[in-house]
Amino acid sequence: MSSEILKRNERLEGVFNRVAASFDTIGPNYFSYFGEKLVDYSEIREGSTLLDVAFGRGASLFPAAKCVLEKGQVVGIDFSKEMVKETAALIGKLGISNIEVLQMDAEKLDFPNNQFDYVISGLSTSFFSNPLMALEEMYRVLKDGGRFGISTWKKRDKRGALDRAYTKVFPQKQEDALRKIPTRPDFGSIDGVEKILQNIGLKNIEIIVEEKRFYYKDEEEWWQEQWTNATRGLFEHVEGMGALDEFKNAAFIELMENKDVNGIRFDAEVIFGFGEK
């Protein structure tokens, strides 16, 4: 693994460690919504075994445990030790006996071949340094005949408010950053997800697109929620350059086109991809 990838992973883990305690606790809870949808579409059977890769705070983990019931077993892995710590504490508090959570790298799963009836991963592919390797590992530990499922953000036709605000505040830095973005597999389109699942060896592939509108009550709630997810890394970067207030003001201006009588709109589109081994 290159030093550049190691640094990226360290930065990401640090961000997720810092957001773990408040992740998915502010705003419209879209992670929980789409996590439950991933489980619903996975059609999980009672008594089965399931691996949830990059479980975060359990958006899919807890719904999956309700599906497999006491005779089944759900294992969650995440590379953030604080995510694991916070979620383990909640599992203990709730007295759930059929969930185990472990700190582990998705690209190096410490499980034997053909271990699980189901393997799922929700809205996580963008955080893997090598997402194809992670999916190949997920395929490896899936049983023959097992069901595989992922969800990814569908690529937007228009740049988001944060991206537009960053361009206004740091036009040259944004241009330089765009030149340095490495080419990554296409997880943002239906065709892209379908081809990726085919290439790792899955059969009977099914693609579902879910669209849903969420609302933040106001700009401040939107801003606070961004601090509780991976966007915190961007905010800390901007803060380090001494421009956080300017950036916040620019973002609020950009949000005006998403505002109506109900608050700040967030129109989410998520691609769900499923297949069998």
Q: 110, 103 in Cβ contact below 8 A?
A: no
pLDDT at 25 over 90: yes
**What pLDDT digit, counting tens, does each position of 192-210 carry?**
999 999 999 999 999 999 9
Q: The whole model's pTM is what?
A: 0.94
Tens of pLDDT, residue by residue over 39-58, are 999 999 999 999 999 999 99
Residue 207 resides in a domain: yes
| Angle between helix 244-255 and 161-169 (nearest 10) | 130
140 in a domain, yes or no? yes
Provide the token pair at 170: 């740091």
Q: Specify if 235 maps to a domain.
A: no
In-domain check, residue 249:
no
Rounded CA gap, 93 and 86, in Å? 11
Contacts of 23 (CB under 8 A, 6+ apart): 16, 31, 56, 57, 83, 86, 228, 229
Helices (DSSP H) in 107-160: which residue ranges? Answer: 131-141
Average pLDDT on 182-199 reads 93
pLDDT digits (tens, 9 = 90+) for 225-254: 999 999 999 999 999 999 999 999 999 999
More confident residue, 277 or 159: 277
Does the pLDDT of residue 255 top 90, yes or no?
yes
Range of the domain at 31: 3-158+185-217+267-276
Strand residues in 192-258 grouped as ranges (E): 203-216
> Does residue 209 lie within any of the structural domains?
yes
Distances (CA, A) of 43 to 37, 46, 133, 148, 160: 10, 10, 25, 11, 33
**In this structure, what CATH number is given to the domain that contains residue 36?**
3.40.50.150
Asked if residue 47 lies in contact with residue 22, where contact means CB atoms within 8 angstroms, the answer is no
Contacts of 209 (CB under 8 A, 6+ apart): 154, 190, 269, 270, 271, 272
Indicate the number of domains in the chain: 1
